[in-house]
Amino acid sequence: MTSDTSPTAQNSSSSGATVVSLRSEKLIDLGNRLIRELSIDSGILGRWMAHHLAELITEAETASGDDRPAKLDKCHEAILNLWKHRYEMPDGKRPFESMEPILRALESLDPENTFHRYYGTARHAVDASEDEEARGWIELADGLDSTARILVRYCLSQAALSAKDKTKEWLALAEAVDADAFDGPVIRVIMAEGDLLDEPNKKLRQLIEDRLGRLEAFKAEASELEQHFRLQLKKLDASEPTEKD
């Protein structure tokens, strides 16, 4: 049985090696960024971690022959382990520290979630019914939920603008990490929303007009609920006994 030495097979092998090499380079870049962050004013443990990681990177980069793959693997593992514990790094050194309050708010408002926030299963069950009144209430809930999600995301994107440049740097470095972490995708959504604010006037105008339109719709929907609640209060007042009774 002969080995496949066709151009297609060679190109495939070369492409695979290139992908691995690029990922390795990105991981090393991430490691070097972590080293710079931990080397200054991070306490004895932080400086020791930075020194240890720097040694591993140097050994991996200077290794040759059969030793190189093993040393690279050891270096990559150390970088990934440190990145995994990024939220345990000292104050002022955590990669997404300035975004942490926003991330905590987003843990229950994931903007990439395609399902509505409240009672998704019950909502779809009522959708299938022929009860017009129930359907009206569900449509109102849908409108409030959808609009609130977008407006909340916009508000949080405004909060993230001050951390934009540093956060983008960490996100670019973290692309080498294949973990399905919560923070990466969600931060990208928020930063993308903020990027829209830097668009030319025409696109920015469209964004503002869209958000304003949604806010107007939200106010109208909220007004419907306000009228409903006031009517309920009137009914309660009418049903309560007077002092003469």
**Domain residue limits at 216:** 97-239
Q: Which of 33, 69, 35 is nearest to 54 (CA)?
A: 35
Quote the crossing angle between the two packed helices 164-174 and 183-195, to the nearest 10°: 130
Q: Average the pLDDT over 71-90 and give the result.
A: 89
For residue 158, pLDDT over 50 is answered with yes
For residue 191, pLDDT over 80 is answered with no
Domain assignment of residue 190, yes or no: yes
Domain assignment of residue 26, yes or no: yes
The residue among 43, 71, 88 that closes a domain is 88
Cα distances from 165 to residues 37, 101, 139, 196, in angstroms, run: 16, 17, 40, 15
* 211 and 129 assigned to the same domain: yes
Q: Average the pLDDT over 194-222 and give the result.
A: 79
For residue 10, pLDDT over 60 is answered with no
Torsion 93-98-100-101 (CA) sign: positive
Q: Average the pLDDT over 13-23 and give the result.
A: 55
* 106 and 73 assigned to the same domain: no
* 75 and 116 assigned to the same domain: no
* 103 and 183 assigned to the same domain: yes
Domain assignment of residue 136, yes or no: yes
Domain assignment of residue 197, yes or no: yes
Domain assignment of residue 4, yes or no: no
